[in-house]
Amino acid sequence: MKTTKFVVKVNRSGTRGPAYVQRVDPSPIHMTTNRKLALVMGKFMAEDAVQILQTLRRNPELAPVEVGA
């Protein structure tokens, strides 16, 4: 049985590739360009991370990931 989890992908301007949320701490959100290091989280936590990043004027989006249960 597979479950859908989410990663938060942030498209950055310029020639850089996208960044992903690696860790959510009480104050800053740590980003990584390595998708394998991205934090796989539930929908509510991912939506909270998206809200925080939108206030920083980034362009975040939820990317679904199939995870084996």
- The CA-atom distances, in angstroms, between 69 and each of 3, 34, 37, 56 are 6, 23, 19, 34
The mean pLDDT of 50-58, rounded to a whole number, is 80
* CA–centroid distance for 22 within its chain: 7
Each domain of the chain, given as residue ranges in start order, spans 2-68
Tens digits of residue pLDDT in 14-43? 667 888 999 887 667 888 889 889 989 988
